[in-house]
Amino acid sequence: MKNWMLRHQSRLMQVAKLGAFVGGCVLLTAPCFADVGNNVDYSSGSSGSSGSSSGSSSASSYSIDPYTMMLLMRWIMREPWILIPIVLVLFFFYRSNQNRGGNRGNTQSTSYGREGARDFRSYEAMPQAHKGSLNQLMEADPHFSEQMLVSKVNNMFMRLQLAWMNKKWEEARPFETDALFNTHKMQLDQFIQTKRTNRIEDITILNTDILKYYTSGDYEYLDVAIKSRFVDYVVNDENGQVLKGDQFRAVHMQYIWKLVRKQGVPTNDAHVEATACPNCGANLSINQAGRCEYCDSIVTKGDFDWVLSEIEVISQHK
């Protein structure tokens, strides 16, 4: 084996350099996401730079530059065989990206998508299709109010966006399940470590609608549709330079928020605010385990109120 490696040392070095080169190209051309949970797709052109003098980078800046392309072409002309691993690596990356959901700017394939009723237009065309499921919830929970729930979701949406932008994710603790909170925290930590800030400005919630109520195991769920518009871009904390996105043009986003609550928990008719523990009413102070520090109740599992367990992007456009 050692003798074979010595005889083919030159060819192995070429393969190693090729792998590093293709890997770098893949990283450069990979899509970039932002907004709470990295949902806005900058690479789709939906929030690309308008070419302003602020120094913002457009989605095209992630493509391979002409000089690198020229070197690659000269390399291929000398060694045509390298096209084989290049094609294989790019094909693997393409398939992996599709398996992860493809372009997140488009409607994603989910259980609703398989039924052909996931997009907003399908729901709007059948306004009574999901209302029937809410009757079941209202029978079990007479104090439940669509208006109150929509108001709660709108409040959560604004608070999450601001906590993300201000890098104070502990403020989002009351609103998300443990798993979602920790996932978003890891994503936000990457912005902090790289000294970047995802600016989310001029936030407008265009519409919020409860789509469906259903139960599974010991928990009950609500799917809530949110249409919003905001300006989304990433800046360098040290010099304020815009790195991604467009600070002068808003992006329109449509989401499905999945809320979860333990079955049998009634709506608090006193409408306890998000700043108070839904169990004891004390000023809300939740530790890293998701417990109220006053009454030791687990707040973020949905034992007392609706919390966010999943965010799905339905569409994105300017």
pLDDT at residue 17 above 90? Answer: no
Residue by residue, DSSP assigns the chain as -HHHHHHTHHHHHHHHHHHHHHHHHHHHHS--EETTTT-EEGGGTTT-----TT----GGGGSPPHHHHHHHHHHHHH-GGGHHHHHHHHHHHHHHHHHTTS-TTSPPP-HHHHHT--SHHHHHH-TTTTHHHHHHHHHH-TT--HHHHHHHHHHHHHHHHHHHHTT-GGGGGGGB-HHHHHHHHHHHHHHHHTTEEEEEEEEEEEEEEEEEEEEETTEEEEEEEEEEEEEEEEEETTT--EEEE-TTS-EEEEEEEEEEEETTPPP-TT---TTB-TTT-SBP-B-TTSBBTTT--BTTTTSSS-EEEEEEEEEEE-
Q: Residue 267: what pLDDT?
A: 87
Average pLDDT, the chain: 73
Around Cβ 260, how many Cβ atoms within 10 Å?
A: 18
More confident residue, 57 or 135: 135
The percent of residues above 70 in pLDDT, for the chain, comes to: 57
pLDDT at residue 276 above 90? Answer: no
Phi and psi of 170, rounded to 5°?
A: -60, -25
Mean pLDDT (whole number) for 170-187: 91
pLDDT in tens, 209-249: 999 999 999 999 999 999 999 999 999 999 999 999 999 99
Around Cβ 276, how many Cβ atoms within 10 Å?
A: 16
More confident residue, 285 or 205: 205
pLDDT at residue 31 above 60? Answer: no
Whether the full predicted model's pTM is greater than 0.75, yes or no, is no
More confident residue, 251 or 18: 251
Distance of alpha carbon 108 from alpha carbon 112, whole angstroms: 10
The strand pair at 219-236 and 196-216 is best described as antiparallel
Distance of alpha carbon 177 from alpha carbon 298, whole angstroms: 10
Around Cβ 111, how many Cβ atoms within 10 Å?
A: 7
To which residue do tokens 């996931």 refer?
Answer: 118
Mean pLDDT (whole number) for 243-256: 94
Comparing C-alpha atoms, which of 145, 184, 178 is closest to residue 37? 184
The C-alpha angle with vertex 152 and arms to 151 and 157, in degrees rounded to 5, equals 100
Distance of alpha carbon 241 from alpha carbon 135, whole angstroms: 51
Q: Which domains, from first to last, does the chain contain?
A: 2-99 (no CATH), 111-317 (3.10.450.240)
pLDDT confidence tier of residue 173, bands split at 50, 70 and 90:
confident
Phi and psi of 190, rounded to 5°?
A: -65, -40
pLDDT in tens, 94-118: 666 555 444 333 333 333 332 333 4
pLDDT confidence tier of residue 69, bands split at 50, 70 and 90:
low
Distance of alpha carbon 259 from alpha carbon 134, whole angstroms: 14
Contact indicator for 290, 298 with CB cutoff of 8 Å: yes
pLDDT at residue 277 above 80? Answer: no
Q: Residue 186: what pLDDT?
A: 94
Structure tokens at 308: 């966010």
pLDDT in tens, 79-93: 777 677 777 777 776
Q: Residue 33: what pLDDT?
A: 65
CA atoms within 13 A on the CB side of 17: 11
Q: Residue 126: what pLDDT?
A: 41
Q: Residue 243: what pLDDT?
A: 95
Q: Residue 274: what pLDDT?
A: 58
Comparing C-alpha atoms, which of 314, 202, 312 is closest to residue 250? 202
Mean pLDDT (whole number) for 34-60: 52
Mean pLDDT (whole number) for 12-32: 50
Q: Residue 165: what pLDDT?
A: 96
